[in-house]
Structure 1
């Protein structure tokens, strides 16, 4: 097989600033030949930067899939609510597919997509569970399997979302309302559910969850505040001010606010657009804090904490074994190993820790070239998504959820719906 031809479906932040640059840097392996994007500004910018032919620029994914097969593979990097339908179209059209997480934003869509992937098992279908492909979590897996600290007993795992990251995505941004996209535990933390399943090496038996939208709601709004940060008398003292988030910081998220995020452009759009709204006057409903307690088949227990109320975005983990413990910080790329019978702790400093997505892309491209089936990746992603749905059901219902029974019920309901629609 020669150079792989790839189409980008969704030229947002991930499509334009994560996946596409990698392809541009590896032109001996692959090339971008087409793009589908609903927003004209993003579409035009992407086409210009990546030199896409005019006849291969599409205003929608549906227009792209109406055409005869254009590329060897598609990367689907749209909002969560489009993942199921677009992946179904892509597989049925004969494309290899790399899909952003989550697999689907509904349980029935998730169940159906797994079955559809079995029908089209001659194609490479991979979900971008990027943390599984990082040096950090692979080193933790290596330590667990080595048994040098005995058997794994318990895990404490924290996803510290970071307040600026949270308010950008989940208060003002595209993932703010679960009715339109996904619950927080799925959109933000299906990666984390995947990591817990990966490290334990077993299925989760049961899960109990608690969480709510404690702070970023209308109850926190005061009469001294304003609907927009630019009109607010307390803006200078507010950590959630859009000016502090976007004008005082340069980040990849500025590209979500404006396709050309100069200070002048940002200043103009923040005065009128959704990213300038007061965080207490948005139409968000996803939780800003959540805790999960889990028990796995091998009697390992785990707690998972998801919170908006941290300064930095990071993932921290502690593993407790029968003969020692391990603590690690993802951002710092550091793992501390403490054996019970040794006074001195061992510290591992990891390099190239942030390359998870690039490793996923490498695996995806190599799997296509070598015709490797990735059914295991689909199953792993499916299980992590099911666990996220079970966690959300537990939170809402205030029940302990037995995951296998929960999944069986979902499959039965999906079959009933399909049978009803068939008549």
Structure 2
């Protein structure tokens, strides 16, 4: 049965669907700890990426598939003939718009599911995913890696201890990074809402191990709600826009150039594709972000070709993008606590969130690598430097996949300290914030959820 404890004498087996940066990051745990888990099947449409991943994990050729549909078709055959699936669990690391379809199909076959964030890009898909997982009774993990990094776990322990009194206010800044934003949200997969989702849900959802913390804002909202539990969001407001990356902001000196390699001011442009991709590769850096724009290992030839012919070489002022490059979200909680969350593209920092938590008897100030705790009652300040255990996002990737594997082995959803219903609720807060931004009103979260569940909100 899907929820039954797994035999502890063997590693948990995984099928990875989508073997790009995020799939690779999660699967790396299997290479480091082969007695804990092992990748036994995979699905990836890109030939070179598929070959590299299969070789790294020594996946049998009969279990290497081009598409997730092929993988699940083969799985259906093995269920019918030998009474078991190809693996114990799946990692779903496909593009955001496909999360619901893949997760539904996997859950229906009894697979435990670790899904990269966001849950889905529409309210209806989120509702359907939550129902599919609940009906199947499988373990469900969401790629909210912020919860599982050593930094967040240490900070959360202080919040939960009560030593600083009641949490009253949080101010949270997400500095996306100027060239990082250009990579993912001007030129990249998340540049247009029509092709992905609105900015607040998908912002900075890079499939990268290089920046230490992923930027999907659903993950930020999730961890903010996590810190304030058991209080729940009651009202939300939001403001934001696409301020800079528009044609009318294009420098006159750039003239009619539409590509970086043809631009007369390329050398002085902070968003130059040559600076972001080609120059690092010419110095031997074949990692993020260059690794995300070609199939296989980046080199001068394939990166140059990508800049000449693909979206990553387009002028940022001539690109087909429409998502916000700055946004603020304000949330009121049932406890009376308030949260202010700011996302901005125009920063030197990349992903190093800046957070201040204000309590009735103290304060925490953190930057995603260390934090200080000031106790007003004792007038004493301590600095905490949680040690990262390695892996992407300050150890959050490792922490999440390890916890997911443990939950699958034990057949216990509680080990993940969340479930599909809680994930759904935090996503609904994000959707409510976007409704506020678009409609220019304060949104009542209870009314919004009621409308969503009755089918009155698209």
Scaled by the length of structure 1, the TM-score of the pair is 0.93
Q: Secondary structure at the match of 1:216?
A: coil
Q: Where do 4+ consecutive residues of structure 1 move more than 4 Å?
A: 341-344
Give the structure 2 partner of residue 3 of structure 1: 11
Give the structure 2 partner of residue 180 of structure 1: 195
Match of 2:433 among 370, 391, 395: 391
Query: In the alignment, is residue 194 of structure 1 matched against residue 222 of structure 2?
Result: yes
Give the structure 2 partner of residue 409 of structure 1: 451
Please show how residues 24-423 of structure 1 align to structure 2 within 5 Å.
Answer: 24-67=31-74, 68=76, 69-121=85-137, 123-187=138-202, 188-201=216-229, 202-225=231-254, 226-249=257-280, 250=285, 251-258=287-294, 259-313=296-350, 314-330=352-368, 333-340=369-376, 345-352=381-388, 354-374=394-414, 376-413=418-455
Between 252-261 and 186-195, the greater mean CA deviation after superposition:
252-261
C-alpha displacement at 1:382, in angstroms? Answer: 1.3
Between 45-54 and 75-84, the greater mean CA deviation after superposition:
45-54
Q: Is the 8 A contact 2:134 2:420 kept in 1?
A: no
| CA distance in structure 2 between the partners assigned to 1:296 and 1:107 by the alignment | 22
Q: Is the 8 A contact 2:29 2:402 kept in 1?
A: no
| CA distance in structure 2 between the partners assigned to 1:32 and 1:343 by the alignment | 51
C-alpha displacement at 1:329, in angstroms? Answer: 0.6
| CA distance in structure 2 between the partners assigned to 1:369 and 1:141 by the alignment | 25
Q: Secondary structure at the match of 1:224?
A: helix
Q: Is the 8 A contact 2:413 2:419 kept in 1?
A: no
Provide Cα deviations, 1:29-56, integer angstroms capped at 9, x if missing partner.
2221121112223222322332222221
C-alpha displacement at 1:286, in angstroms? Answer: 1.0
| CA distance in structure 2 between the partners assigned to 1:61 and 1:370 by the alignment | 26
Q: Secondary structure at the match of 1:159?
A: strand
| CA distance in structure 2 between the partners assigned to 1:145 and 1:32 by the alignment | 36
Provide Cα deviations, 1:199-239, integer angstroms capped at 9, x if missing partner.
11121101000000001122212453221100000000001
Q: Secondary structure at the match of 1:365?
A: helix
Q: Is the 8 A contact 2:326 2:344 kept in 1?
A: yes
C-alpha displacement at 1:191, in angstroms? Answer: 0.6
Between 241-250 and 156-165, the greater mean CA deviation after superposition:
241-250
Query: Please, which runs of 5 or more residues in structure 2 have no aligned partner?
Result: 1-6, 77-84, 203-215
- The 1:146–1:368 alpha-carbon spacing in structure 2 relative to 1, beyond 3 Å, is closer
Q: How many residues align?
A: 412
| CA distance in structure 2 between the partners assigned to 1:224 and 1:51 by the alignment | 52
Q: Secondary structure at the match of 2:353?
A: strand
Q: Is the 8 A contact 1:194 1:380 kept in 2?
A: no
Provide Cα deviations, 1:26-82, integer angstroms capped at 9, x if missing partner.
211222112111222322232233222222121211121122232111100011000
Q: Is the 8 A contact 1:84 1:103 kept in 2?
A: yes
Q: Is the 8 A contact 2:291 2:297 kept in 1?
A: yes
Between 204-213 and 315-324, the greater mean CA deviation after superposition:
315-324
Query: Please, which runs of 5 or more residues in structure 1 have no aligned partner?
Result: 418-423
| CA distance in structure 2 between the partners assigned to 1:382 and 1:248 by the alignment | 42
Scaled by the length of structure 2, the TM-score of the pair is 0.86
Q: Is the 8 A contact 2:276 2:289 kept in 1?
A: no
